[in-house]
C-alpha cells in the first residue's frame, strides 16, 4: 500500500498541467490533493503578506498565481463531478470544500494585500497605469470590501459562517440538479419530434432506449 507521501507525489491534481488530466483524476485524489495544495498556497500567501509591496510584480503577479492555481485545480474537480458524478467524488468534495472556502476567505480578507492595492491607487504612479491595470486594482479593492475585510472581528466571523453555509447550499443545489438531470427521460415515439437532430444524436437516443429495454 502506498504511503500518504507517495499518494501526494503521484497525485495528478498536484502536477503542473496546461489541460487538466481528467483521465487520471479519481475521487481518491481529491482529499489529499486539495489539502496538499491548500497547504502549499497557504505558505505562498504567508510569504506574499510578508514581502508585499505596492508594485505589480510584488503584488498582482504572485496573487494571480495563487488564485489561478486554486481555480484551475478546483475547477477540474468540479467539472469532473459534473460529467462523471459518483458518491465517492461527492463525499470527497463535500469534505474538503469548507477548507477551500476558508482559504479563499483568508485570501480575500488579507489586510496586507488590501492595503497594498490601496497604496497603488493612492500612489503618484496611478495615472501612469493602463486602464486595464487600474480596473484590476479597483476590482481587487472592491472585492476585499465585499469579502468583509472592513468588518469588526465578530461581524467578520459571522460573515464567514454565512459564506460557508452558502457554499454548502450551493453544492447541494448542484447535486440536486445533477440527480434530476440523470432521472429525466423523454420517450419519443414519432420521428417527426426529432427532425433536424443530427444523426449522431438520434443514434445515441436509440442506444439509450435499447439499453433500458424500451
- Return left, alpha or beta for 83; rule: phi > 0 is left, psi -120 to 50 is alpha, else beta: alpha
Q: What is the mean pLDDT of residues 152-159?
A: 96
H/E stretch holding 192 reads none
Each residue of 13-57: pLDDT tens digit? Answer: 999 888 899 999 999 999 999 999 999 999 999 999 999 999 999
Each residue of 56-91: pLDDT tens digit? Answer: 999 999 999 999 999 999 999 999 999 999 999 999
- How many beta carbons lie within 10 A of that of residue 61, not counting itself? 10
Q: Where exactly are the structural domains of the chain?
A: 4-183, 184-214
Q: What is the mean pLDDT of residues 174-186?
A: 86
- The pTM of the full predicted model, rounded to 2 decimals, is 0.84
- How many beta carbons lie within 10 A of that of residue 32, not counting itself? 19
- Domain 4-183 fold: 1.10.1370
Q: At what angle do helices 153-183 and 56-83 cross, to 10 degrees?
A: 30
Q: Which three cell numbers stand for residue 212?
A: 433500458
Taking CB atoms within 8 Å and a gap of at least 24, the contacts of 23-26 are 25/76, 25/77, 25/80
Amino acid at each position: 500500500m502506498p504511503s500518504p507521501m507517495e499518494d501526494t507525489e503521484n497525485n495528478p491534481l498536484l502536477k503542473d498541467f496546461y489541460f487538466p488530466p481528467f483521465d487520471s483524476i479519481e475521487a481518491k485524489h481529491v482529499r489529499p490533493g486539495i489539502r496538499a495544495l491548500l497547504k502549499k498556497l497557504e505558505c505562498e500567501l504567508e510569504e506574499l503578506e510578508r514581502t508585499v509591496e505596492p508594485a505589480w510584480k510584488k503584488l498582482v503577479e504572485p496573487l494571480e498565481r495563487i488564485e489561478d492555481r486554486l481555480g484551475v485545480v478546483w475547477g477540474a474537480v468540479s467539472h469532473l463531478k459534473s460529467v462523471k458524478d459518483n458518491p465517492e467524488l461527492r463525499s470527497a468534495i463535500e469534505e474538503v470544500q469548507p477548507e477551500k472556502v476558508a482559504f479563499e476567505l483568508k485570501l480575500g480578507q488579507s489586510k496586507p494585500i488590501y492595503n497594498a492595492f490601496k497604496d497603488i491607487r493612492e500612489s503618484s504612479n496611478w495615472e501612469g497605469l493602463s486602464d486595464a491595470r487600474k480596473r484590476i486594482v479597483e476590482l481587487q479593492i472592491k472585492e476585499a470590501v465585499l469579502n468583509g475585510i472592513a468588518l469588526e472581528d465578530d461581524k467578520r466571523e459571522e460573515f464567514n459562517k454565512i459564506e460557508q453555509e452558502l457554499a454548502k447550499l450551493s453544492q447541494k443545489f448542484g447535486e440536486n440538479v445533477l440527480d434530476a438531470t440523470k432521472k429525466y427521460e423523454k420517450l419519443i415515439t414519432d420521428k417527426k419530434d426529432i427532425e433536424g437532430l443530427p444523426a449522431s444524436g438520434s443514434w445515441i437516443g436509440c442506444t439509450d432506449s435499447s439499453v433500458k429495454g424500451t
